[in-house]
Structure 1
């Protein structure tokens, strides 16, 4: 294998992993009503079809980031892709909703292993001069997956049934495992003397789990319900425990010394807030068109394509610009574009929503995201020592995934919280929903409020991105 070709072969391997993990989320966003209707699931169970995967995926990403630094990336990546494919097959045979949710948790294990190792594998394989282009291709592949995901998920769910929303992962996974086995070189871990911070991982899981549980339940059973109060209490208590544990751990899961690097700190903060603001947009719009306009899953999937079309347009452009302009300029510009798109959604969502302006708003959000992600990721990865890249990328991925899971729970909570009890399950009913005109107005107002919150969060992300160092990121490793 030629030395010059190896980095691109690595990129081809990681692209399959990114394609699989990204499509897994975007297909279900559109096909959720199909799954919910099959199992006659209520609002809470429907929420957890999505949230169970996101919650465990988020926490495990940081665990596996440390394990990759200790044991090496190749074996963990291939194991994760194999496990993910097997569980995807088993999900299609779920006898009830709770078995499906349990299997989604196991699927999250494989997904976390794949996500954790893709960016470090790319960063290790490419030199700095070509890294920006490689990362932009990585984002482009994720964008293509998100572009195809809603259409594939909607089409498979509508034509063949909900099982194929999961079964389509299997052939992709098999191809990815075989190709990765032959391409990836065995590289020993660079931090073998370190240990996994299990206590830190347990406390962050319990804290985040409490918050997600409270958000998912609060809009349905009420904020005064004992279970919601206990969830919020768990979040506060275990978050405090996590901070204490990390400050006293010999090998903490989060290396707080890295936060002395201002570009690293602000880039991670921008990652989290941007993910919190934009991650639920496709889900909300897909559910909106299925419930309000009675569109089937396939048509709803087509109507959320502008987000990923925008990312596909922007990603190769920003890859070329990454070597000429600072991370702060590019990332902040992307977030400003996202904010303008959010404004269009707030202005146009309603009973007689303008498909054109909602599509244009989604396009701007997608382009803004594509412009933001590559320079922001490069800023994070190039400001840490090479032996800390697994942990650094694990934290970046965890913050992004944490933003996704909180965004999903938060946005669905906002939409349902102001609705009467009889309408709380309706947003998951898809084309089977039958609404009076007053009900349509109530549901539309819930969606508008959710988009307003997402827009305000994007403003905070702009501030975080702008406040990073104005200079170029300092390279912490030799060329």
Structure 2
């Protein structure tokens, strides 16, 4: 293979990996009611079909990033593709919901291996002058996957059944693995002397798991129940232990000295709060239309498209502005757009003839997110030394994913906590729920409360984004 063609051949391999991991999340958001109904899953089990993947994926992104730095990326990436493909097939033949939840956690290991190694593989392969193009195509594939994911998921469920939401991954994974075996070159690891902070990762996994357990149980069993109390205590105690341990670890999972820099700290906090506020919107809207309007999954998938369309529009808009305006201005402006979108959802959800306003609200959230992410990420990458950008990007990814998993648990907890017992499981039953007008009113109240909380979180994101330094950053279009 000629040297000039190798980067593009590699990009074709990583694009299949991005397609696989991104579709997996967005297709299941729409298919969740069908899966929950098939297994007669209660609300706790239904939550953990999503949360098990998100929790494991969040923690192991940093773990596998360090392992790949030590042992090389080709093998880790191919192992991720193969493992993800095999477990996807097994998910489709799961005999009960708890086996499915365990398989989803195992599937997340493969997803973390794929996500962790995609961008570094592209960075290593492309020459500096063409790296921006390679990264842009990578982002475009991810955006397109998010765009078509709900539609693909809805189509598969409506015409072939929920199992094909998982089995759809299998041919893509097989093609990607075989293509990668013949295409990817072995590159030795460059961090041979470093070690994985297993202690920090285990503490983070258990602490975050305790918080998610408390949230998922709090809305159903009550905040005074034993699992909720244990989960909250576990989170608080382990959070304190984590800060103590990380300060005395030679190769820490998170280097807290980076957060002494105010622009870096505020940009990362904005990342977390933005993810916490908007990550569950697509799931909530897809569930709402299936339960309240008895829509089939395909139509519900079409109704959440404005979010991903908006993200693509926002990304295109902000690209030309990053050379003229500061990250502080652009990121904060994007969050204001998200704030207006959240306000529309809070105001109009459940109203008659409100579909157009819900679509506009989602579009604004998508545009705001697209405008926010690029300059905010560039701000993070340009406020740390060059040799620490890999670590900085890993922390940013972990905070973004952590915000997403907490967002899902928090929003579902808020909605279900305000419902009577007979409606808690109905939220996941899709078109088969057959709820009354009075029940619909209660669900709408729960949704408005959830969107109001997310509106408040968006305002927090605006505040911390604005509080970064006032000097204008010199940004580049495609940070490495």
Band of TM-score, shorter chain: over 0.9
Q: Which residue of 2 aligns with 1:211?
A: 211
Aligned partners of 1:68 and 1:76 also within 8 Å = yes
Shift of residue 292, structure 1, vs aligned partner: 0.6
Query: What CA distance in whole angstroms lies between the structure 1 residues aligned with 2:165 and 2:254?
Result: 35
Q: Which residue of 2 aligns with 1:113?
A: 113
Q: Which residue of 1 aligns with 2:96?
A: 96
Aligned partners of 1:22 and 1:142 also within 8 Å = yes
Q: Does 1:347 align with 2:352?
A: no
Aligned partners of 2:342 and 2:365 also within 8 Å = yes
- Per the normalisation by structure 2, the TM-score is 0.93
Query: What CA distance in whole angstroms lies between the structure 2 residues aligned with 1:180 and 1:320?
Result: 34
Equivalenced residues, count: 477
Q: Deviations over 1:93-119 (max 9, x none)?
A: 111111111110110100111112223
Say which SS state the counterpart of residue 295 (structure 2) adopts: coil
Q: Which residue of 2 aligns with 1:68?
A: 68
Q: Deviations over 1:281-319 (max 9, x none)?
A: 000000000111010111100100111111222223333
Query: What CA distance in whole angstroms lies between the structure 2 residues aligned with 1:261 and 1:273?
Result: 18
Q: Which residue of 2 aligns with 1:275?
A: 275
Q: Which residue of 1 aligns with 2:286?
A: 286
Query: What CA distance in whole angstroms lies between the structure 1 residues aligned with 2:440 and 2:365?
Result: 25
Query: What CA distance in whole angstroms lies between the structure 2 residues aligned with 1:379 and 1:72?
Result: 28
Shift of residue 382, structure 1, vs aligned partner: 4.2
Q: Which residue of 1 aligns with 2:426?
A: 426
Query: What CA distance in whole angstroms lies between the structure 1 residues aligned with 2:475 and 2:296?
Result: 50
C-alpha spacing 1:384/1:370, structure 2 compared with 1 (3 Å) = same
Say which SS state the counterpart of residue 440 (structure 1) adopts: helix
| RMSD, matched Cα | 2.2
Query: What CA distance in whole angstroms lies between the structure 2 residues aligned with 1:74 and 1:380?
Result: 27
Say which SS state the counterpart of residue 352 (structure 2) adopts: coil
Q: Which residue of 2 aligns with 1:55?
A: 55
Q: Deviations over 1:142-170 (max 9, x none)?
A: 22111111111111111111110001111
Query: What CA distance in whole angstroms lies between the structure 1 residues aligned with 2:134 and 2:468?
Result: 23
Shift of residue 277, structure 1, vs aligned partner: 0.6
Q: Which residue of 2 aligns with 1:85?
A: 85
Aligned partners of 2:325 and 2:472 also within 8 Å = no
Say which SS state the counterpart of residue 195 (structure 2) adopts: coil
Q: Which residue of 1 aligns with 2:464?
A: 464
Aligned partners of 1:191 and 1:387 also within 8 Å = no
Long gaps (5+) in structure 2:
none
Q: Deviations over 1:23-75 (max 9, x none)?
A: 11110000000100111101011001001111111111111121122222222
Q: Which residue of 2 aligns with 1:30?
A: 30
The equivalences for 1:198-277 within 5 A come to 198-277=198-277
Q: Which residue of 2 aligns with 1:298?
A: 298
Q: Which residue of 2 aligns with 1:18?
A: 18
Aligned partners of 1:116 and 1:390 also within 8 Å = no
72-81 or 359-368, which moves further after superposition? 72-81
Q: Which residue of 2 aligns with 1:46?
A: 46
The equivalences for 1:120-139 within 5 A come to 120-125=120-125, 134-139=134-139
Aligned partners of 2:323 and 2:475 also within 8 Å = no
304-313 or 8-17, which moves further after superposition? 8-17
Say which SS state the counterpart of residue 472 (structure 2) adopts: coil
Aligned partners of 2:80 and 2:112 also within 8 Å = yes
Aligned partners of 1:137 and 1:315 also within 8 Å = no
Say which SS state the counterpart of residue 223 (structure 2) adopts: coil
463-472 or 350-359, which moves further after superposition? 463-472
407-416 or 243-252, which moves further after superposition? 243-252
Shift of residue 133, structure 1, vs aligned partner: 5.3
Q: Which residue of 2 aligns with 1:446?
A: 446
Query: What CA distance in whole angstroms lies between the structure 2 residues aligned with 1:335 and 1:80?
Result: 34
Shift of residue 10, structure 1, vs aligned partner: 4.1
C-alpha spacing 1:118/1:268, structure 2 compared with 1 (3 Å) = farther
Q: Deviations over 1:171-218 (max 9, x none)?
A: 222232233334444332222111111111111111100000000000
Q: Deviations over 1:2-38 (max 9, x none)?
A: 6665544444433322221111111000000010011
Aligned partners of 2:335 and 2:462 also within 8 Å = yes
Shift of residue 422, structure 1, vs aligned partner: 1.1
Query: What CA distance in whole angstroms lies between the structure 1 residues aligned with 2:467 and 2:183?
Result: 40
Query: What CA distance in whole angstroms lies between the structure 2 residues aligned with 1:227 and 1:457?
Result: 26
Shift of residue 135, structure 1, vs aligned partner: 4.1
366-375 or 239-248, which moves further after superposition? 366-375
Query: What CA distance in whole angstroms lies between the structure 2 residues aligned with 1:428 and 1:6?
Result: 46
Q: Does 1:359 align with 2:320?
A: no
Say which SS state the counterpart of residue 187 (structure 2) adopts: coil
C-alpha spacing 1:129/1:348, structure 2 compared with 1 (3 Å) = farther
Aligned partners of 1:91 and 1:103 also within 8 Å = yes
Query: What CA distance in whole angstroms lies between the structure 2 residues aligned with 1:135 and 1:266?
Result: 25
Query: What CA distance in whole angstroms lies between the structure 2 residues aligned with 1:67 and 1:427?
Result: 40
